[in-house]
Structure 1
Amino acid sequence: MTASPRPVNTSPKPRAPVLLPAFIVLIGLALRLIMLGQDVRFHPDEALFAAQARLISHQGDMLLRTTDLDKPPLTFYITALSFRVWGSTEFAARLPNVLFSGLSVAVLFALARTLYHDPQIAAAAALLYAFSPYDLAFAATTFTDIQATFWILIACLWAAQDRWRWAGIAGALIFAAKSNALLFVPLILALGITRQAHSEWTWKDITRRLLAFAGALAAGIALVIGWDISRSPRSFLDLGYTRNYPGRLIRSDEVGTRLEAWTRWLETVTGSPVLNGLLIVAVIVWLAWGLWRGRSRSAALDAQIAGFGLAFLAWHWLIAFNTYVRYLHP
């Protein structure tokens, strides 16, 4: 007798792996679109950024020569495009950041899934971001931070996927959106190398990836600097440094007040002191569990993310930057 052929499983694949992230992203986007309906006028800086974008869209000042610029140009061009499509309104000025913030939820899910190969971790990260009062508050604004955050997440994702040239291009877009957000380059490199490295790698493998990243990043930065040189009267890099960088560490009498200010702003991450406390405890327990498990890729990724987060907060605490809440966004 011949064996009967093995039955082919024709049942549909479960949809949950696709439906869950889609649901989270749609909820996150819906919450951000709702923020567009809030009756909130522009912050003075938002009004300035919108006015500078309008110089591009309605007055043809493509190089922004008629304004003192202390920010790179990418977000202004995107806002100008929105003005051309929707008209010169607050809605049109805020819509791009709403869309970028919503897309960031999707990118964060993909990044966490790539780093940890665990859909539950990815869903938890995306949920925290989608419902974060802090990000919701800044989604419907014209500040440059939202778009810089999106490109940081994209760069981390592509580095973690071993697509280093594309990660470098995303790094250049970070610079074109918010130049000082290049602070995140060490994290991008660390996550990418840690996710992809294996025992057969040599220093040549690492160097090849870093050069691909650095080449694309340098080319993009050169284009932005070339744009800056072609305009006048003053470089946005020069003016941005003059206006935004204090050039000193904090004084002894500022230690407590600045720590209190940043701690108060950190409460907006979840909007609840209780939830913030639970989140901190959960992070500590998670890191301790990773150390107890021994040397693992996931534990190394956890340590890098937590360590960079602490360094980022210390940077803003110990250097005398303004204690603006939006500075917690990249």
Structure 2
Amino acid sequence: MTRTINTLWGLLAAALAIRLGLSALLPLADTTEPRYAEIARIMAETGDWITPWFDHGVPFWGKPPLSFWAQALSFKLFGVSEFAGRLPSWLANVLTVALVFAMRFHLHANTDRQQATVSGLWAALIYATTALGFLSGGTIMTDSYLALGTTLTLASLLIRLRGGSDWWGWGFFIGLVIGLLAKGPLVLVLTGVPVFCWAVITRQWRNLWRCLPWLSGTALTLLLVLPWYLLAELKTPGFLDYFIVGEHFKRFIISGWQGDLYGNAHEFTRGTIWLYLAVASFPWGLIAVTGWGIRRWRSTPVPARAASDGTTMLLTVSALTPAIFFTFSGNILWTYTLPSLPFIAVLAAGVISQTAGYRWQRASYACALLIPLAASSGAGWLAIHPEQLKTERDLVARASALPELSPDQLHYLGEAPFSARFYSQGLVQSLSPDELQSRLADAQLPPPALVAVSNNDKAWLDRLRKTATVLDQNRRYTLFHLSDGKPAAITAKSITIGSAVTISRPGATTGATSDGT
């Protein structure tokens, strides 16, 4: 048993360490990561901790501020870099892993402690090495914080039902606070449905009332959440209407919702969320179903207390609620299944840890490394071939390295990508085709020094190639130097980009470098 525990600890530590290392390896690729990173960077720069800003002067009403607070604080502490932006999500993921362990451990609290530890470690390892669980563990997005909030709320109830201390009762409401400040009222649905179904089916309303501090907990939740919502509406009127009505009703009901101010709605066939759940839980979903089939075939009984207090049912409904809820929505992303994975992991661990001796269980050790090793291989290849990513990191660094030029002289024809804005610290500018036409045709107007043109815009590419110098090109844009139609003086130079990536590119003969942020 001790050997098994040591093996599981080692695999879990390795998975978390690999994910942390990958957070520093790759640049931010459009659209989600650099968009949220730039919002957090602006928050850190301006010191405005109430309103997240989509751009200077444009409020971001799409999400509450918790993830931006965490990232902005990380930027303040560690500097603006990919690693600093991703670190808070990794920490949120570590906390979720710990909660998954605690849930599974408390399900065995009155049995052998070593067996409880093994079962808890299996649950933690399964969650940490699912496809989406591993990916989200170091990605700049809000879903990691929502998953932490829903997991803390439901885990606190489960652990209280299993005799956990009164502090877990407060954890139920702290989880709601995290969810409300990370994603909004959605957390009330994802946690309220499982709790309600459990109470109805098991008829334990009285027990539910007794085990949680409902009055003081609700007051604490309101005290911690309402001030920001009210301040946000007062500062930028219209926030509540857009966020509550638009993001939580119209986005859910209307496929291809056209009211999205910050992106495009995602229209999919109803029920696609179940396919996403299968992919997100890979490879453990398949293993769990196989193990469940083996247990049923061998008629392995469910532990008596788990059956009597309904905790297995609570876990099952918690695992399925996100998929059931989003079955009726066509506007979805696969990350919406993340709140399901902690509870799937707890259920799967019960199957694996109680099926000792079967060969497929031993193969599970190898499965635990499948996603981390595959992700490492893919990330390593992309680190060597960053041009395959939709990122403007290198192009911005190339422009910044030119003598007597700076990122604020770099113009993108059309809307500047978020990665360009992030890596230039918000200095790059957008330029409409009409404005560029005017500045090139009017001798009184200075032409932009540097222009990045989409590789799909053949007309402008052909025109500028005749009068300007091509300085760089990536998978999406070609960078032109327009000033007087003369190329800049360029010699070899080493440019440090991002948090830990150094590449050798042409540049100025002396001095300044660009860190890409």
TM-score using structure 1 length: 0.76
Q: Which has the higher contact order (CA 8 A, sep 6+)?
A: 1
Indicate the larger mover: 75-84 or 99-108.
99-108
Residues of 2 paired with 1:289 and 1:318: CA distance?
A: 37
2:317 pairs with 1:307: yes
Larger Rg: 2
Question: What percentage of residue pairs aligned between the two structures are identical?
Answer: 18
Partner secondary structure for residue 246 of structure 1: helix
Q: Which residue of 2 aligns with 1:219?
A: 223
Q: Which residue of 2 aligns with 1:266?
A: 278
Indicate the larger mover: 140-149 or 175-184.
175-184
User: CA deviation digits over 1:7-40, x for unaligned, max 9?
Assistant: xxxxxxx977985775454223212113214435
Cα pair 1:95 1:140 within 8 Å, conserved: yes
2:31 pairs with 1:39: no
Cα pair 2:273 2:327 within 8 Å, conserved: no
2:232 pairs with 1:228: yes
Structure with a larger share of its residues in strand = 2
User: CA deviation digits over 1:293-317, x for unaligned, max 9?
Assistant: 5863356212222123233212111
Residues of 1 paired with 2:280 and 2:252: CA distance?
A: 28
2:330 pairs with 1:328: no
Partner secondary structure for residue 296 of structure 1: helix
Cα pair 1:111 1:153 within 8 Å, conserved: no
Q: Which residue of 2 aligns with 1:185?
A: 191
Q: Which residue of 2 aligns with 1:146?
A: 144
Residues of 2 paired with 1:177 and 1:155: CA distance?
A: 14
Cα pair 2:12 2:128 within 8 Å, conserved: yes
User: CA deviation digits over 1:59-115, x for unaligned, max 9?
Assistant: 222222642321111111110011112222222211111222123222211122123
**Aligned Cα RMSD in Å?**
3.8
Change (3 A) 1:233 1:126: same
Cα pair 2:173 2:217 within 8 Å, conserved: yes
**Equivalence map 1:1-330=2 (5 Å):** 22-23=9-10, 25-64=12-51, 66=57, 67-117=59-109, 118-159=116-157, 160=159, 161=164, 162-163=166-167, 164-179=169-184, 180-186=186-192, 189=195, 206=210, 209-235=213-239, 238-239=242-243, 241-243=245-247, 245-248=250-253, 257-260=269-272, 262-264=274-276, 266-270=278-282, 272=283, 276-283=285-292, 293=302, 296-298=305-307, 300-320=310-330, 322-330=331-339
Gaps of 5+ in 1: 1-13, 251-255
Cα pair 2:273 2:323 within 8 Å, conserved: no
Structure with a larger share of its residues in helix = 1
Residues of 2 paired with 1:128 and 1:327: CA distance?
A: 18
Residues of 1 paired with 2:96 and 2:42: CA distance?
A: 28
User: CA deviation digits over 1:129-176, x for unaligned, max 9?
Assistant: 122122122222111011221233233343323432332123112211
The structural deviation recorded for 1:184 is 2.9
User: CA deviation digits over 1:179-198, x for unaligned, max 9?
Assistant: 1233232367579989xx99
Q: How many residues align?
A: 305
Residues of 2 paired with 1:208 and 1:137: CA distance?
A: 33
Indicate the larger mover: 307-316 or 70-79.
307-316
Indicate the larger mover: 180-189 or 168-177.
180-189
Cα pair 1:148 1:174 within 8 Å, conserved: yes
TM-score using structure 2 length: 0.51
The structural deviation recorded for 1:239 is 3.1
